[in-house]
Structure 1
Amino acid sequence: MSSRGLLHHMIINVSNVERSSPFYTAMFRYLGYELNDSSYGEDYGYEDWKRWDLNTPHEISICQVLEPLKAVPHQRGALGHHCHIAFCAEDREDVDRFHREVLVPLAEQGLCAIEDAPCDCPEYNDGYYATFFTDPDGLKYEFVINPNHLLKKAAREAAF
């Protein structure tokens, strides 16, 4: 299988790496990432998280936003800001477990906000099951299982 076109790396700017670290540490560890490198400087900090089990580089970094942009709050839908990032779950129980073991404890500590507990989302697809949540800066994430992808992939392959 070719890795062409897959995500190589991504950088997410946060207002404060040390404040955001507990959120991203819990999420990324659950998703199979390992902390590869980090620095927590007064003016600039970062954490590089990698998946080593894939046959291609796959890294997500959180980086402290630079001055004078620290005062600019995240605004979902604004130019240059992501609307949300969705990560794949193994199955419905994986979504439930992530919510229970990762999100609920983070929310209780004030380190994330859960927008939607695990739920069916038929408006997206039959069987679409997800939980939606935000990091300390309000950046939105989703953990989802979408079985229709495999059904559509099988139908597409059968047509060829």
Structure 2
Amino acid sequence: MQPTHRGLLHHLVITVSSVSRSAPFYGTMFRHLGYELGGSSYGGSYEYEDWRRMDQDTPHEISIVTADPKLAEVPHRRGAVGHHHHLAFCALDRADVDRFHADVLVPLEEKGLCTIEDAPCDCPEYGQGYYATFFADPDGLKYEFVSNPNHRRRHE
């Protein structure tokens, strides 16, 4: 069988104001989603964490890096050129979204490490059965954890 990963995301680099500040949020989230820490550097001129999954027929890596010191004070502005609007991760089902909210997001928010924008909820505006939770990292970068059964139905 031929590999099916052509065109899939290989890696993504997310710039944060401080890796040391953001690492507890991303580490908790990525571990829960099945990523492993592949490399890191703290305290130097270039701080980073590389999170990897190698179980999907292709390397898949998301890194967090500290912003250029000359630009670190420029706040994230959703909708501005070069700034992501939000990034969504796939959940297995509604129960997976609920577990992620309860086991990951609520404890992170209690520690001041994230902001829950929407607890798990139906989002009929995105399709029947679309169920998600929306949240932001310490810099206000928006994320989503979503179960979308319509996507599976369209491709069966």
* Structure 1 residue 43: Cα displacement: 3.1
- More displaced, 100-109 or 46-55? 46-55
Query: 2:124 maps to which residue?
Result: 122
2:78 is aligned to 76
CA contact (8 A) 1:26 1:102 kept: yes
CA contact (8 A) 1:43 1:66 kept: no
When normalised by structure 2's length, the TM-score is 0.97
- For residue 63 of structure 1, give the secondary structure of its aligned residue in structure 2: strand
Tell me, in whole angstroms, the C-alpha distance in 2 between the residues paired with 1:42 and 1:76: 29
How many equivalent pairs are there? 154
Amino acid aligned to 2:36: E
Per-residue Cα deviation, 1:78-110 (whole angstroms, up to 9, x for no partner)? 000000000000000000000000000000000
Q: Does 1:6 align with 2:8?
A: yes
4+ residue runs over 4 A deviation: none
2:99 aligns with 97
Conserved? CA contact 2:50–2:63, under 8 Å: yes
* Contact 2:36 2:51 (8 Å CA) reproduced: yes
| Distance in 2 between residues matched to 1:142 and 1:106, nearest whole Å | 15
Is the partner of 1:110 in helix, strand or coil? coil
Q: CA deviation at 1:151?
A: 1.2
Residues 10-55 of structure 1: CA distance to partner in whole angstroms, max 9, x if unpaired? 0000000010000000100000000000001243200000002121
Distance 1:43 1:15 in 2: 13
2:4–2:57 contact (8 Å) kept in structure 1 = no
TM-score (norm 1): 0.94
The DSSP-based 3-state class of the residue aligned with 2:72 is: helix
Q: How far, CA to CA, are the matches of 1:23 and 1:43 in structure 2?
A: 21
Unaligned runs of 5+ in 2: none
SS of alignment partner, residue 125 of structure 2: coil
CA contact (8 A) 1:113 1:133 kept: yes
Q: Which of the residues 56, 60, 63 maps onto 1:61? A: 63
Q: Does the residue aligned with 1:68 lie in a helix, a strand or coil?
A: coil
Q: Which residue of 1 aligns with 2:50?
A: 48
Distance (whole Å) between structure 2 residues aligned to residue 71 and residue 145 of structure 1: 35
CA distance in 1, matches of 2:105, 2:26: 11
Q: Aligned residue for 1:143?
A: 145
The farther-off stretch of 144-153 and 110-119 is 144-153
Provide the identity percentage: 68
Structure 2: distance between partners of 1:110 and 1:73: 18
